[in-house]
């Protein structure tokens, strides 16, 4: 069974839970940016939690089924037909799954019963946009192989809380906090998500963080959630496809549990940071 890509939407990639464990080779974790929504989409179609699914930025995807199949859409709030979000739906041969434009949040996840069965690279089917690993982004006319279905879906609907309008992300101190004049300025500022944001990093505009040390930092390894501060003083929140090492100081690290919320931030949206308790 294959799914035909009628329209790829703004940007759609195949993602799973990524390829952790290869950072010493320069290969990042990658994988779904909003892992909670990704896992839920798989659960709704009866897949194991790490089966490959589609990550759709801002919506706009249209897929056509060639056989009876079950799909589910989670994540950013988006008009979906047939059916709706956060529930399994059946596509009959010739049916099209249509995602409109997301009205809240940034990324939708489309899981297909059986999973997207592209060949794994280093143990993962994820597209790493920075490391250029995994399958290319979806294009019109592409045929997506679907794997052998396992279990049947066990849930009809998964109610989800609305995404926060003005998110607050929890942080712990980063390794180079002492390179900044007053690192707690990070906690009092209101930041705005820049349109330059992508799977590599969420660029923020707002007051500049002033440095007390101006020497070059030798490259050092980073973790997802690192708030790296380049010379501009505006932090970049390293996300799913972040480089494995970076050469600018990391002032703080966003809690792993809050990275799903960060993945749904839209350009222009404001956010704040607060210390993790």
Partner 1 sequence: MTVRLLPCGRRAVLVEPDDVLGFQAALEQAPPDGLVELVPAARTLLVRFDPSVTDADRLGALLRQVSPVDSVVSSSAEVVIPVVYDGEDLADVAADAGLSVSSLIARHSGGSYVSAFCGFAPGFAYLSGLDPALHVPRRPTPRTRIPAGSVAIAGEYSAVYPSASPGGWRLLGRTGVPVWDVERDPPNLLPPGTKVRFEAVRA
Does residue 226 bind partner 1 (CB under 8 A)?
yes
User: With contact defined as beta carbons under 8 Å apart, do 246 and 142 qualify?
Assistant: no
Does residue 245 bind partner 1 (CB under 8 A)?
yes
Does residue 218 bind partner 1 (CB under 8 A)?
yes
The rounded Cα 219 to chain-centroid distance in angstroms is: 25
Does residue 9 bind partner 1 (CB under 8 A)?
no
User: With contact defined as beta carbons under 8 Å apart, do 158 and 42 qualify?
Assistant: no
Does residue 243 bind partner 1 (CB under 8 A)?
yes
Q: What's the rounded Cα separation, in Å, for the pair 118 and 147?
A: 9
In the chain, % helix, strand, coil (3-state, to 5) comes to 10, 35, 55
Does residue 20 bind partner 1 (CB under 8 A)?
yes
- Per DSSP, the three-state class of 146 is strand
Q: b or e along 201-219 (b: 16 or more beta carbons within 10 Å of the residue's beta carbon)?
A: bbbbbbeebebeeeeeeee
Residues 159-178 that bind partner 1 (CB under 8 A): 172-177
Does residue 196 bind partner 1 (CB under 8 A)?
no
Smaller CB separation from partner 1, 46 or 131: 131
- Shortest distance, position 81 Cβ to partner 1, whole Å: 38
**Which helix (H) or strand (E) element contains residue 74?**
strand 69-77
Any idea which residue has 């399994």 for tokens?
88
Among 63-71, 78-86, 131-139, 185-193, which window interacts with partner 1 (CB under 8 A)? 131-139
Among 51-59, 70-78, 120-128, 142-150, which window interacts with partner 1 (CB under 8 A)? 120-128
Does residue 123 bind partner 1 (CB under 8 A)?
no
Smaller CB separation from partner 1, 59 or 134: 134
Does residue 203 bind partner 1 (CB under 8 A)?
no
What value, to the nearest 5°, has the Cα angle with vertex 134 and ends 15 and 5?
A: 65
Q: Taking the chain, what is the end-to-end CA distance rounded to the nearest angstrom?
A: 48
Which of 10, 26, 182, 267 touches partner 1 (CB under 8 A)? 26
Does residue 106 bind partner 1 (CB under 8 A)?
no
In the complex, the residues that contact partner 1 under the rule CB under 8 A are: 20-21, 23-27, 121-122, 128, 130-133, 172-177, 216, 218-223, 225-226, 243-245, 250, 253-256, 276
């Amino acid at each position: 069974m294959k799914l035909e890509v009628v329209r790829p939407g703004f940007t759609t990639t195949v993602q799973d839970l990524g390829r952790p464990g290869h950072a010493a080779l320069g290969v990042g974790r990658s994988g779904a940016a909003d892992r909670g929504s990704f896992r839920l989409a798989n659960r709704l179609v009866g897949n194991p939690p790490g089966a490959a699914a589609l990550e759709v930025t801002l919506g706009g995807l249209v897929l056509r089924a060639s056989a009876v199949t079950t799909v589910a859409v989670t994540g950013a709030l988006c008009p979906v037909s047939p059916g709706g979000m956060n529930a399994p739906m059946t596509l009959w041969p010739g049916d099209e799954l249509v995602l409109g434009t997301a009205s809240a949040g940034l990324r939708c996840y489309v899981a297909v019963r059986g999973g997207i069965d592209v060949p794994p690279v280093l143990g993962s089917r994820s597209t790493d946009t920075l490391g250029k690993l995994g399958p290319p982004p979806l294009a019109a006319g592409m045929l997506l192989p679907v794997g052998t279905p396992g279990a049947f879906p066990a849930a009809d609907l998964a109610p989800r809380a609305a995404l926060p309008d003005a998110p607050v992300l929890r942080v712990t101190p980063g390794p180079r906090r002492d390179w900044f004049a007053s690192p707690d300025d990070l906690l009092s500022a209101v930041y705005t998500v820049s349109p330059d944001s992508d799977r590599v990093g969420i660029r923020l505009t707002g007051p500049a963080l002033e440095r007390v040390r101006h020497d070059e930092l030798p490259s050092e390894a980073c973790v997802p959630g690192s708030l790296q501060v380049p010379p501009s003083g505006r932090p970049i929140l390293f996300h799913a496809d972040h480089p494995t090492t970076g050469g600018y100081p990391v002032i703080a690290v966003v809690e792993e549990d809050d990275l799903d919320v960060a993945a749904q931030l839209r350009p222009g949206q404001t956010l704040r940071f607060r210390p993790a308790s």
